[in-house]
Structure 1
C-alpha cells in the first residue's frame, strides 16, 4: 500500500511540475507576442470566464484602451488584433488557475486519507503558499506596466520567473525525497553543484532582465560572429549599469554563459570516475545546448520558437543541477 501511495503522490507532484513548466513557456510566448498587458484587471474568480459576445469584447477592449500600452504603442488597434493578444494572456492566467486546482484538490484528498506524515504536511503547505504567492507576483508584475510606461518592470519579471523556477525545483526535490531516491554521497561534487546552482540562478535572473528590457534585439550585427557571441563593446559613456542599461545587461548575460559552462565542465571532469558521471554528463550536455540556443536566439533576433525553447532548456538545466546536488548530498545513517 505504501508503494501505491507514493506512486499517486509522485504522479500528482509531477503533474504540477509539468504544468508549471508549461505555464513558464506560455508566459514566454505571452511576453514575446506583446500580450502580457492585454488584461488590465485581476479577477482570480470571475476572470475565468472570457468575453462571450461582441458587447463583452468591446467592453474589455475599452478597458485596455485606457492604459499606456494602447495609448503609446497600439493606438488604432483593431478589435480582432486585440483578441489575439488577449488570447495568450488569458491562457496564461487560466493555466495558473488550473494549476491551483491540480494542487489543492488532491492535497485535500490525500490529507483526509492521512497519506502525509508531519514533515510532508509542512512541506506541502509551504508549497501551496508559494504557489498562491506566485499568482500574486504575476499580477504585481503586470501592474507595473499599467501606470506610466507600457512595459513591465524587469525586476518584477525576474522575481516572477525566479519564483516559478524555485517552485519547480522545490517540487522536484519533494519528488526525490518522497521516493527516497538513493544518494551517492560526494562532498566535492555536492559543493560544486551548489555553486553551479548559484551561478545558474544569476544567469537566469539576467535572462529575465534581457527579456524585460527587450535587450535581445540589441545585438550589433556589424560585429564579427565571435564578438557577437562573446565580446563586449566598451562605450565612452558613463551610463554603464548591470541593473538598468540593456546593452550592458545583454553583454553580461552572453559572457556569463561561459562561466556556467566552465563550472559544468569542472563538475563533469570531477565526476568522470564516480557514480555521478551520468547526471554530470547530462548537465554539461544541456548547458551546451542552452548556450547554442542562446546564441541562436540573439542571431535570429529573438525568433519565437528558438527563444521559447531556450527558456524550456533553462528549466531542464536547473532541475538537473538540483538533482546532482540532491544525489551528491550526505547519506542518511
Structure 2
C-alpha cells in the first residue's frame, strides 16, 4: 500500500510545482515591468551562463552601455540617455533574466532529486519532462524576441512578444494543473460532461485574450485610444487597417486594441453565464461551483481593471495589476476545469 501511495501522489512534489508556478508568475510581473519601462533591449547579448554576472566595474558598465548605443532604440529613442539612466533600465532586464535562470534551477534540481527518490507519481514523469522542455524553449524564445529589436526596430516584434508571453502562461497553467494532480492523486474516475467542455472553452477564451493583450503591449496600443467604450469617438478606429492582413492583425495599434476589447466583451458575457449556470447547477459539487464563481468574478474584475488601465494610459502599477489578474483568472479557470473532470 505504501508503494502505491508514493507512486500515485506526493504533496511535497505538489508544493514544489506550486513554488515553480509562483516563480513563473514573478517572471511575468518582472517581464511586464521590463516592457512598461522599455528596458527589454538594454542587454544586447545572450550569455546563458556568464550573463548572470552583472557589470562589476565602471569599465564593464561603459562597455555594456556602448553596446546598447549601437542599437536603433538608443539612436532613435534615447540618444540623450546617460550611464545612470542606462543602469536603471539594465537592472530590470537583468533581473528578468536572472529569475529565468533561477527558475530553471528551482525546477531541475528538485526534479532530479524527487525522481531519484521515486516520489514523483509515475503518470506525471513524462508531463514534467515536457514542462522542462517548454521552459528551456522559453529561454530561446526570449532571446529570439529580444533579437527582433536589435537591428531594425526600436522595440521587440509584437508577435514574438505574444509567443513569449503565451509560453509563460502555458507554463503557469501546466504547472498549476500538474500540482493539483500531484496533490490529489489520480482520479478514480474522469467524467465527460457539458461542464468539462464549458470549462475548456473558458480556459481557451482567457488564454486567447492574454495573447491579444500581448499584441496590445507589443504595439504600445494602450497608449492610444484611451477613451471607452468608443475609440476616439468612433466604434472602429480610423487607423484600423494595415498594409496587409498580417499588418492589421499584428501591427495595427487600432486593430489590436479593438480585437482585445471585442473579445473582452465576449469573455465577460461567457464568464457571467458560466458563473450563473454553475451556481444553479445540481450536477456540480459545491467546491466546483465555488471555483466557477471565483473564476467568473476574476474575469469581471479583470474587465473593469482593463478599462481603468486603458483610460489611465497604462501606468506601471495598473499594468502589472492587469497582468496579475489575468494570471489569477487563468489559474482559477484551470482549477475549475480540473475539478469538474473528477468524481
TM-score after normalising by structure 2: 0.90
Change (3 A) 1:75 1:176: same
Change (3 A) 1:60 1:234: closer
- Pick one of 251, 254, 261 that aligns with 1:247: 254
Secondary structure of the structure 1 residue equivalent to 2:80: coil
Runs of 4+ in 1 over 4 A off after TM superposition: 1-5, 181-186, 228-231
> 8 Å contact 2:10–2:120 — kept in the other structure?
no
In the other structure, the counterpart of 2:210 is 204
Alignment of 1:1-333 (within 5 A): 2=5, 6-180=10-184, 185=191, 187-221=193-227, 225-228=228-231, 232-233=235-236, 235=238, 239=242, 241-272=248-279, 273=281, 274-275=284-285, 276-329=288-341, 331=343
Q: By how many angstroms is 1:106 displaced? A: 0.8
> 8 Å contact 2:241–2:255 — kept in the other structure?
no
> 8 Å contact 1:229–1:295 — kept in the other structure?
no
List alignment gaps of at least 5 residues for structure 1: none
CA distance in 2, matches of 1:238, 1:167: 33
> 8 Å contact 1:184–1:327 — kept in the other structure?
no
CA distance in 1, matches of 2:239, 2:145: 34
Deviates more, 1:169-178 or 1:272-281: 272-281
List alignment gaps of at least 5 residues for structure 2: none
**RMSD between aligned alpha carbons?**
2.2
CA distance in 1, matches of 2:177, 2:305: 27
Deviations 1:106-152 (A, max 9, x none): 11111211223443221111111111111111111000000111110
TM-score after normalising by structure 1: 0.92
Deviations 1:176-211 (A, max 9, x none): 111227789471221111111222222111100000
Aligned length: 328
Change (3 A) 1:264 1:237: closer
